[in-house]
Amino acid sequence: MNKRYWKSLALFLIALLALPAPSWAQGYTQTKYPVVLVHGLFGFDSLGPVDYFYGIASGLSSGGAKVYVTSVSAANSTEVRGEQLLLQVKQILAATGATKVNLIGHSHGGPTSRYVASVRPDLVASVTSVGGVNKGSKVADILIGAVPNVTYDLANALSGLISLLSGSPTLPQSSRAAAQSLSTAGTLAFNARHPQGVPTSACGEGAYQVNGVQYFSWSGAQPWTNALDAADPFLAVTSLAFNGAKNDGLVSSCSSRLGRVIRDDYALNHLDEVNQLIGITNLFETNPVTLFRQQANRLQGLGL
């Protein structure tokens, strides 16, 4: 009886080993195309030990994804940043032999990624907008009307310092051009030229796929999330610009929507969305690194 049992077990294990490997064995975040992360306004790839996408690149790569963190102007127009990103996408494709990339952009990185997908859809498999300024920001609207020229000069100096410290000292900076691009009027003009994935209704979903590129978005809607986060008081103040509408402190939930909307109401603020400051986020919400990992897995499931 025991001999028959062990023989049957051995045959079962041999048959099991002969089966194709299950999808999870390929790695939870292992996408077909490289994942390219794109930072927002006053962003960077890394400043010393601090990554803009804090812990996110490593969280994605640990599950099998090939991840690249790009560096574009900390402050400039969407088109200028978009051309800089396009050049880096071409370099990534040349280095990896891949034919397309999956772009994930935060804040101003959302429209920046959309620009590349619009002008070169053949190079992009998907665009994911995280807290993206897809229909403008009321904070930018207020700043354009209230900020004196000297403030733009100071912002340009800050942008230049950020780019210098992150290893990209030659990138041009224009805070005024950035503010105009992020304003309601600026994004309206941009969307007329690059409408792919943008909802046609005030707060709906956009086309899920355009010219072979798939579009996704998610965002937070809670400006104050952690008393230990030094950025939360600032975001709590800027959130007042939205007159009670759902927002993450800098972008309204409706403005963040693009393509397939995963969610627009996570209990996260604008910096929490990329696990900043240094991982101090809402303890009672899904960890931002997990959200990025889930999106990579979603792309994997779609063959991207």
Question: Could you say which of 107, 129, 175, 183 is catalytic?
Answer: 107
Q: Average of pLDDT values for 167-184?
A: 92
Separation of alpha carbons 184 and 138, rounded Å: 7
- Cα 220 to chain centroid, rounded: 12
Give the per-residue pLDDT at 25. Answer: 40
Give the per-residue pLDDT at 13. Answer: 41
List the one residue out of 83, 106, 104, 267 whose CA is nearest residue 171: 83
Give the per-residue pLDDT at 2. Answer: 57
Exposure of 296 in the CB half-sphere (CA atoms within 13 A): 32
Among 9-13, 45-49, 260-264, the range of highest mean pLDDT: 260-264
Give the per-residue pLDDT at 157. Answer: 82
Q: Average of pLDDT values for 95-105?
A: 98
Question: Could you say which of 229, 232, 248, 264 is catalytic?
Answer: 248
Give the per-residue pLDDT at 159. Answer: 84
List the one residue out of 250, 113, 234, 96 whose CA is nearest residue 179: 250
Answer yes or no: 107 catalytic. Answer: yes
118: tokens are 């619009």
Question: Could you say which of 51, 183, 270, 272 is catalytic?
Answer: 270
Answer yes or no: 270 catalytic. Answer: yes
Burial class (CB in 10 A: 0-12, 13-18, 19+), 168: middle
* Mean of all residue pLDDT scores within the chain: 91
Give the per-residue pLDDT at 22. Answer: 41
Q: Average of pLDDT values for 223-231?
A: 96
Claim: this prediction has a pTM higher than 0.85? yes
